[in-house]
Structure 1
């Protein structure tokens, strides 16, 4: 990537590092909003309507985050890549593996998806903290909302004692199995 100009106060080397990190966030957000829509279309069972309706606001907000990140990349002098190929090239995660299944099974898998996105966002926040507080602030706000959405998901997976049914699950299939047993 070759940056020809950037915002005042940042060098092209700094901006290249920030844009590289933001491009990964853009791809993660594009993947997440498609995954959320997939869940929305494929939930079944007694909790269908609650989860079906809970997901759409998350989809819209995450789509907005993708737009916000892409516009920040452009503001910094970069060229955001929003194609399916960019998502695949930037992926450090597996494709979402759950098809038509119960709402509780999808929520178990979705909890792990949120873990990955939030952990990677926190790494991007750490990187941008010293370089660009404007980008850091944007990522902090987005991450706070993603953490709230994860709380919504986890509320369905939590027992009265505060234990998550998916605690310790290392894969989406393990999380869906654990959620089904407890749900």
Structure 2
């Protein structure tokens, strides 16, 4: 059943819907990864990383809402149910229990990098079908790249440099 009529062709709608749904899953998953790490981080950099994790969580949640609303506006019901996230989410996540600050930084850099790579693929995929969605994905990518950079800077110095 289609409640909202889309302004896109059926093919463009399918491509765009896949990009938006995948992005929604990644963003909701990132918010969960961030909170899990936030609650369980230990180590000398606890406070700074603890606060930075909240920034990632807030950004991911805000973007998830925007992505879901874009999907709905195109007549594509977004699916953010827990079972959908659990069955389709594949980004790296922290281990169970207490996690050292250095491990949190590593997993956040890896998770953000994986999400960014997929966003870039979706940016390419939506170039022709829906430049409006592409623009949204570009903005999300820019913020996630900033967050990845900030976590990666926590790893300095590396290899004696």
**TM score, norm. by length of structure 1:** 0.80
The equivalent residue for 2:70 is: 72
Contact 1:3 1:12 in 2 (8 A): no
Q: Mark the runs of 5 or more structure 1 residues left unpaired by the alignment.
A: 164-183
Match of 1:126 among 121, 124, 127: 124
Counterpart check, 1:89 vs 2:94: no
Counterpart check, 1:40 vs 2:38: yes
State how many pairs are aligned: 161
Q: Mark the runs of 5 or more structure 2 residues left unpaired by the alignment.
A: none
Q: Separation in 2 of the partners of 1:122 and 1:153?
A: 20
Q: Separation in 1 of the partners of 2:103 and 2:117?
A: 22
Deviation digits for residues 139-176 of structure 1 (CA, Å, limit 9, x no counterpart): 0000000000000100011327897xxxxxxxxxxxxx
Match of 2:51 among 50, 53, 59: 53
RMSD of aligned residue pairs (Cα, Å): 2.0
The alpha-carbon deviation at position 98 of structure 1 amounts to 5.0
Contact 1:6 1:15 in 2 (8 A): no
**TM score, norm. by length of structure 2:** 0.91
Deviation digits for residues 9-32 of structure 1 (CA, Å, limit 9, x no counterpart): x20221022112211110111111
Contact 1:43 1:102 in 2 (8 A): yes
- Identify the structure with bigger relative contact order (alpha carbons < 8 Å, sequence gap 6+): 2
